[in-house]
Amino acid sequence: MPSFSLDALADAAESETQLSKKEFPLMPVGQAVDMGFTDDGVPLIDPRIFDSPEFFRNPYPYYRILRDHYPVFHDKLHNTYWVTRYEDITACYFDDEGFNTIPKGSSSGVLGNTQLELSGVEHRRRRNLYGQHLVGKSLENRIPAIERLAKEMIADWENLGEDVVQDKDGVRTVNIAAAFANEFPIRVVSEILGIPKDAQGQFFYWYNSMMAGLGGSATHQMGLEARQDLEDYISDIVEQRRVTPTYLYDNDGNPISKDIISKLCETKIDNDYLSTEEITSNIALVIGGGGETTRGAILNLWYLLLQHPDQFEAVMEDEANWDLAFHEMLRHSSSIGGQPRHNTHDVEMHGVKVPAGSLMEMVDFSANHDDRIFKDPETFNIFRDDLYAGKILRSGYNKDGKCSHMAFGVGPHLCPGAWISHQETVVGSKILAAHMKNPRINLDKMPKDIDGTSLAPIGLISVRDLWLDYDL
């Protein structure tokens, strides 16, 4: 079964290509395959659908069936309980002791011993180590670097090969995945960590290998090796920074603050400095958590906005609308589908008995499309009045008919990169928008849906390549 944790981002692409044991027809988006009905007329779910190409491209009608008829679905094929309603998922996320994150899966081998796998006090102590450097004033300090890196990458488009950028008759065609989104989040993270510039290319390779290592067993070894190389490299840096910390600078070259590695070097838990292994695990987690997710966010945002030209225009007319667009994109098509939890005690939810220690998959994608919370959930509308798009809150928001989306989770494990990924996506997109005159999707180069003409839906996996045209 595809799980939707960080582990599964790389795995998902692999699973997509594997043939399901049972073949299901590809349906028009929004319609479910007929899997039969009970005597009372309730649609049945065949769990083999979850492995099918149909589900990967068109999951929402199946989530609707689950939410409406099986809000806690015991999938015996994958030995998982799927939890699909918004209210149930938020309740489980807040109850970190009752529904804990241990064990998370193959990530521990590749990423190391991180707080992903901890709960309660231990989790809080670990999380604050670097989380504090990704919010508030620290984050504000990082914005000049984010802007500079975006501009540097775009300035380099001139030098990219024809497989990424093509100019013809006053129109440039560019794959903004390869030319921007794939690498931009990793460049930002390596900059704020304090990775020397000349090592950033190597860093991107380690990132890609570790992400691949989270997937199937074929690439797991590659991930482990990359993790070992990263650790060797970081341990030298850590030794140097323990003696001589290094700094981040503003655009005028003035030091703003120490970089995250330098700060981690001087951090203590129980009066002990963090070990090099602990620092490396934190770094691996921040890279693993922040790359693929933000990459997907940038590409999904542009894909959705350019398919809704009136909304794109609204964003171009008033820059404040980028924030609305960011949150609506994450509600409509986030880059992470959900998170696994294990229940500490026997529980009964919606009449389903779940024995202690079961794998319960919280399906954030489904929570974000729960029409008990969001009207007409399949529609992308940055001006919807039921989505909270204010400051991101760990406690979430559910007031006056507005709710937070679930793309960053909520509660103790709320994504600590939420604020910085917001800045990366919005600041990066503003800079892209300022550079590209009259941008539009290059329809010839993009994958099509089953009718052969409409653009392929985003489905469970974020847009991989996004070809745009703009006027030179």
Binding site for ligand HEM (CB under 6 A): 101, 115-116, 127, 134, 189, 285-286, 289-290, 293-294, 297, 334-336, 339, 407-409, 413, 415-417, 420-421
Residue 396: how many other CB atoms lie within 10 Å: 20
At position 98, the amino acid (one-letter code) is G
Smaller CB separation from ligand HEM, 303 or 408: 408
Smaller CB separation from ligand HEM, 276 or 293: 293
Contacts of 106 (CB under 8 A, 6+ apart): 7, 213, 214, 220
- Give me the least distance between CB of 115 and ligand HEM, in Å please: 5
Smaller CB separation from ligand HEM, 219 or 423: 423
Where helices occur in 167-199 by DSSP H, the ranges are: 176, 184-193
Smaller CB separation from ligand HEM, 49 or 336: 336
- Give me the least distance between CB of 336 and ligand HEM, in Å please: 5
- Give me the least distance between CB of 142 and ligand HEM, in Å please: 10
Contacts of 131 (CB under 8 A, 6+ apart): 416
- The residue of the chain with the least Cβ separation from ligand HEM equals 417
Give which of 237, 236, 238, 209 is closest to 224, Cα–Cα: 209
How far from chain centre, in Å, is Cα 77?
27
Smaller CB separation from ligand HEM, 238 or 299: 299
Smaller CB separation from ligand HEM, 116 or 195: 116
How far from chain centre, in Å, is Cα 70?
26
- Give me the least distance between CB of 151 and ligand HEM, in Å please: 20
- Residues in a beta bridge with 459: none
Smaller CB separation from ligand HEM, 108 or 166: 108
In this structure, what are the phi and psi dihedrals at residue 448, rounded to the nearest 5 degrees?
-105, 160
How is residue 170 written in tokens? Answer: 């006053």
Pair 418, 287: CB distance under 8 Å: no
Rounded CA separation 400/193 (Å):
39
- Give me the least distance between CB of 282 and ligand HEM, in Å please: 8
- Cα-Cα-Cα-Cα dihedral sign, residues 294, 297, 299, 305: negative
**Gap between the terminal Cα atoms of the chain:** 46
Q: How far is CA 329 from CA 80, 137, 355, in A?
A: 28, 26, 36
- Give me the least distance between CB of 43 and ligand HEM, in Å please: 28
Give which of 334, 331, 351, 228 is closest to 9, Cα–Cα: 334
- Give me the least distance between CB of 212 and ligand HEM, in Å please: 18
- Give me the least distance between CB of 455 and ligand HEM, in Å please: 21
- Give me the least distance between CB of 234 and ligand HEM, in Å please: 16
Pair 377, 371: CB distance under 8 Å: yes
Smaller CB separation from ligand HEM, 174 or 297: 297
Smaller CB separation from ligand HEM, 101 or 343: 101
